[in-house]
Amino acid sequence: MKVARFSVENAIHYGIVDGDELVVLSGDPMFAGFDTTGERVPLAKATLLAPVIPRSKVVCVGKNYHDHAAEMGGEAPTEPLLFLKPNTSVIGPGDTIVRPKQSQFTSFEGELAVVIGAIAKNVAPERADEVIFGYTIANDITARDLQKLDGQWARAKGFDTFCPLGPVIETEFDVDGGRIETRLNGKVVQSAPLSDMVHSVADIVAHASAAFTLLPGDVILTGTPAGVGPFVAGDQIEVEVPGIGVLRSSARDA
């Protein structure tokens, strides 16, 4: 099922997408379950928000597609290459990415995102599904010039608005049969089957949870395929994963 976080008349709700309506839930389903209020809201009257605000962190994986590792220089890491984005970088579908004054080269990176639904520590790969609530779409925005200047990735990946998420969480997504596509102003710039990942979702969850405890609401970005590139103010970026939806963002300068 598709779970949305949305606002109507300045009130935030959770709901299940049912055609062109949202079935309103009594609370955050990650903690309160899927009890409904009996109310339905037309999708056209709702504003979709980031489907989750990570409680503590966004865990990201670098160079997790062979072709992307090659375009960035070098081979794919033998183990998942982990880094973090702050939860303050998260924005929702339709929100605007702000290009900071410190950077002249901001880049898009369309990615599948995993939403953690239970406390997870030292999770075996074969049990990863037990701690996954569902899947959504992410855009791992990067200030590429600052990434090279700093020699590490915290600032380049961590600016406010640098982690668009959405539009919904799909709780029953088939990763092995999925695809991801990124479009810049309508032109396809990234396209790959999710099976091209170097390290699987299960292996990423196991590797990350061996390093630090994952909390309900934490998000894992699973890496981006080849084709990353720059965008400027006024550009429109769409990341699509069939079965989940399309994450749309616009860009402006600070």
Rounded to the nearest integer, the mean pLDDT of the chain is 97
What is the percent of the chain where pLDDT is above 90? 95
Helix, strand or coil, per DSSP, at residue 145: helix
Would you state the structure tokens that stand for residue 243, as one six-digit string?
Answer: 């079965």
Task: Label residue 229 by pLDDT band (50, 70, 90).
Answer: very high
Residue 83 has pLDDT above 80, yes or no: yes
Average pLDDT in the 202-223 region?
A: 98
CATH 2.30.30 range(s) for the chain read 2-48
Residue 77 has pLDDT above 80, yes or no: yes
pLDDT of residue 157: 98
Average pLDDT in the 206-210 region?
A: 98
Residues in the chain: 254
pLDDT in tens, 106-146: 999 999 999 999 999 999 999 999 999 999 999 999 999 99
The answer to whether residues 170 and 136 touch, using CB atoms and an 8 Å cutoff, is: yes
Omega within 30 of 0 (cis) for the link into 216 = no
Neighbours of 199 (CB within 10 A): 21
pLDDT of residue 67: 86
- The 8-class DSSP code of residue 214 comes to B
CA nearest neighbour of 119 among 108, 135, 130, 103:
130
Q: Please state which architecture CATH assigns to domain 2-48.
A: Roll (2.30)
Q: Is 82 exposed, middle or buried (0-12, 13-18, 19+ CB in 10 A)?
A: middle
Residue 74 has pLDDT above 80, yes or no: no
Helix, strand or coil, per DSSP, at residue 102: coil
Quote the CATH superfamily of domain 58-253: Fumarylacetoacetase-like, C-terminal domain (3.90.850.10)
Would you state the structure tokens that stand for residue 27, as one six-digit string?
Answer: 């609370």
Residue 73 has pLDDT above 90, yes or no: no
CATH 3.90.850.10 range(s) for the chain read 58-253
